[in-house]
Amino acid sequence: MATFSQAIGRLPTPCTHGALPDATSRAASGVRGAPDAGSLVGMIEIATSSTTTTLVIAGDLDLAERDQFPEIAARVVGLRRQLLVIDMCRVTFMDSTGAAFLISLADSGRKRGGATVLRGSDERDLFVLEVCGALDLFRIDHDHQCEQSDTSTGATPVQLPQRPRPS
């Protein structure tokens, strides 16, 4: 059985449909340029603009992935953007460890007067956050439609099957 890191190499191009027009950077791997440059650490891509940090998460967000959470959290907090958007279109599973990671990001942002938006989250993800008593830390983007596309390549967007979401 392949590890997540091996499997991620076989996934389609990361979800980039939500990148903001003023996005300053996005990288396929590693860190390019300045500390706020986009990067991919395992299953989480970090993209930045002048006001927003966007995390695009693919795969499981759980205990098995926890070793990378402190580094990602430090990078996100260090960017000091007012808005954090967490794209969960490609999250396949989240447990309380993944929820704790998201909660810590939202709490850090809130302490600085920022906001955290969840987009593409399904009922299971929201249930885990609700059980943890932290759903009110997040703004939920109910209108977001997940697509499978890399707009930088000119590929035609393909609608992904929509996971059930609360209304």
Does any domain span residue 154?
A: no
> Is 80 within the bounds of a domain?
yes
Instruction: Give the DSSP H or E segment for 75.
Output: helix 69-79
State mean pLDDT over 98-112. 95
If pLDDT is split at 50, 70 and 90, which confidence band does 43 have? confident
Confidence of residue 147 (pLDDT cuts 50, 70, 90): confident
Residue 52: which H helix or E strand, with range? strand 52-61
Note whether 54 and 48 are within 8 A (CB): yes
Separation between Cα atoms, residue 72 and residue 157, nearest integer Å? 28
pLDDT tens-digit readout, 120-139? 999 999 999 999 999 999 99
> What is the domain extent for residue 106?
44-146
Span 28-53, average pLDDT: 60
Q: What is the pLDDT of residue 148?
A: 63
Kindly state the average pLDDT of the residues 38-45.
Answer: 60
Q: Is residue 151 part of a domain?
A: no
Residue 136 lies in a domain: yes
- At 7 the pLDDT is 34
Residue 166 inside a domain? The answer is no
Contacts of 41 (CB under 8 A, 6+ apart): 68, 71, 72, 75
Flag whether 66 is in a domain.
yes
Provide the number of structural domains found in the chain: 1
4 or 157: which carries more pLDDT confidence?
A: 157
- Report the helix count and the strand count for the chain, using DSSP H and E: 4, 9
| Residue 82 clears pLDDT 50, i.e. is over it | yes
Give the domain CATH number at 133.
3.30.750.24
- The reply to whether 95 falls in a domain is yes
Q: What is the average pLDDT value for the chain, to the nearest integer?
A: 73
pLDDT above 70 for 91: yes
Contact 137, 115 (CB under 8 A): no
Residue 30, sorted as left (phi over 0), alpha (psi -120 to 50) or beta, turns out to be left
Judge whether 13 lies within some domain. no
Q: Is the pLDDT of residue 83 over 70?
A: yes
Q: What is the pLDDT of residue 4?
A: 33
User: Which one of 1-15, 16-30, 53-67, 137-151 scores highest in mean pLDDT?
Assistant: 53-67
First to last CA, the chain: 37
Per-residue pLDDT at 167:
54
